[in-house]
Structure 1
Amino acid sequence: MLTKTQGIVISYMRYRETSILVNVYTAEMGISSYIENGVRSAKAKHKMALFQPLTLLDLEVYHKPGKGLHRISEAKCFFPYQAIPFDIAKSSLALFLSEVLSKVLKEEEANPALFEFLSHSMQYLDRAESNFENFHLQFLWQLAAFLGFGAGNAAEFYQQLKAAGCIVPNFTELDALIHADYGHPIVLHRAERKELLAGMLNYYQLHMENFGEIRSLQILQEVLA
């Protein structure tokens, strides 16, 4: 069945000589996997740039429920990034978040509110001119709520970490950060941001089976130092 949907690329991997397998979180079908044949050849219908992580796409796809791999008929950006690919801080944030999303987005069913959150968040990051250094912390906090294990407030967050024997971040203004809009200026020192991010990732590990380590974390911390 040919279906129109919007999607956000989560990850891709090479397949054979010129093809790739692409994981896309779609507005209509949740997480879906597509095979894109010949995309790494000179005569490709779609260019590789379309399938970089977190690219926002308008799609026409051949989607058959219950089938593991689907096919893309048409693909184009509905919001071409102007800053993320060229700004090292933003591209590092995008790399980190795409790795997190690849671990947590598993549902093959529509969740329009979650898709809208992801789309809005990435458009904000691309447009932001300043005050986005805490973006990933706010993103992770809000994402947890969509995934069904969000803490109601900072006290509950700390309590769950403490009960699990995790190191509890020492940051008394967490409530101000997590309830502020993206871009609201809240000053964090490098050590505070690093500590709070570690707490966030521990929290995800408590609630998501096989969440594991985030390989891009070290790159992000070096860039945001």
Structure 2
Amino acid sequence: AEFGIASYIENGVRSAKAKHKMALFQPLTLLDLEVFHKPGRGLHRISEAKCYFPYRQIPFDVGKSSIALFLSEILAKVLKEEEANFPLFDFLEESFQFLDGAQGNYENFHIQFLWNLASFLGFAPGNTEELIDQLKQSQFSGANVIDANMLSELVMANYGEPFLISRAQRKECLSGLLYFYRLHIESFGVLRSWEILQEVMA
């Protein structure tokens, strides 16, 4: 959190003699790092790394690991700040810890997460109707099938709160949110993990 978004190089993580094992660097892992950080450099080196919140379910639950992979790909595309952003870090940390510990009702987590994340990125819509209006203006073909009231209730609900929504509606809402992100982030591009998530959560 101290240095914002930064890239680090770690050699030989697949080696049996590696100082830091590859398991430490799985999607969304929460790490406590000691690093050699030099301003102006693109890559920095890790001195020490340890996981301060070992996940109990994400690595072993297909649904949760698919969501984690999906969100990690999105975060890699949208987070660019090189300065500390503690409110954003707290949001990410709390969200990931919820996902790992959830005993159920996490099927809508990634939709709620993306809605909340937009506020930290500076382009959150005022409400779901405004979101849908932007989608319509940009000629997104799925805008007309998204239920603004239903989506509003969903994104205003707490993580884990039971919410009745069909798989088709979930896909429509998520497709709309991803298109919305593309409108505001030019380099957002295509998500490789999107198809995997659809198959797992279908």
TM-score (norm 1): 0.86
2:40 to 66, 75, 94: 66
Corresponding position: 1:219 with 2:184: no
One-letter amino acid of the structure 1 residue matched with residue 146 of structure 2: N
Matched residues in 1 for 2:128 and 2:13: separation?
46
Deviations 1:13-35 (A, max 9, x none): xxxxxxxxxxxxxx111111111
1:170 to 146, 169, 173: 146
**RMSD of the TM alignment (CA)?**
0.9
Number of residue equivalences: 199
One-letter amino acid of the structure 2 residue matched with residue 217 of structure 1: W
Matched residues in 2 for 1:163 and 1:207: separation?
14
Matched residues in 2 for 1:105 and 1:155: separation?
26
Matched residues in 1 for 2:139 and 2:4: separation?
34
Deviations 1:199-220 (A, max 9, x none): 0000000000121111111111
Tell me which residue corresponds to 1:46: 20
Matched residues in 2 for 1:143 and 1:107: separation?
14
Tell me which residue corresponds to 2:179: 202
Aligned-residue identity in percent = 66
Name which structure has the greater RCO, CA cutoff 8 Å, separation 6+. 2
Tell me whether 126-135 or 59-68 shows the greater mean CA deviation: 59-68
Q: Judging by fraction of residues, say which structure has more strand.
A: 1
Tell me which residue corresponds to 1:89: 63
Matched residues in 1 for 2:100 and 2:89: separation?
17
Residue 52 of structure 1: how far off its partner (Å): 1.0
Tell me which residue corresponds to 1:149: 123
What SS does structure 1 have at the residue aligned with 2:27? coil
Residue 181 of structure 1: how far off its partner (Å): 0.8
Corresponding position: 1:34 with 2:8: yes
Tell me which residue corresponds to 1:21: none
Deviations 1:79-131 (A, max 9, x none): 00000010000011001111111111111111111111111100000000011
Tell me which residue corresponds to 1:80: 54
TM-score (norm 2): 0.96
Tell me which residue corresponds to 1:181: 158
Residue 152 of structure 1: how far off its partner (Å): 1.4
What SS does structure 1 have at the residue aligned with 2:35? strand
Deviations 1:120-147 (A, max 9, x none): 1000000000110000000000011100
Q: How does 1:78-157 map to 2 (within 5 A)?
A: 78-157=52-131
One-letter amino acid of the structure 2 residue matched with residue 186 of structure 1: F
Tell me which residue corresponds to 1:6: none
Tell me which residue corresponds to 1:15: none
Matched residues in 2 for 1:37 and 1:219: separation?
29
- Runs of at least 5 residues in structure 1 that lack an aligned partner in the other structure: 1-26
What SS does structure 1 have at the residue aligned with 2:53? coil
Corresponding position: 1:160 with 2:160: no
What SS does structure 1 have at the residue aligned with 2:5? strand
Matched residues in 2 for 1:223 and 1:68: separation?
35
Residue 170 of structure 1: how far off its partner (Å): 2.2
Matched residues in 2 for 1:109 and 1:209: separation?
21
Residue 39 of structure 1: how far off its partner (Å): 2.0
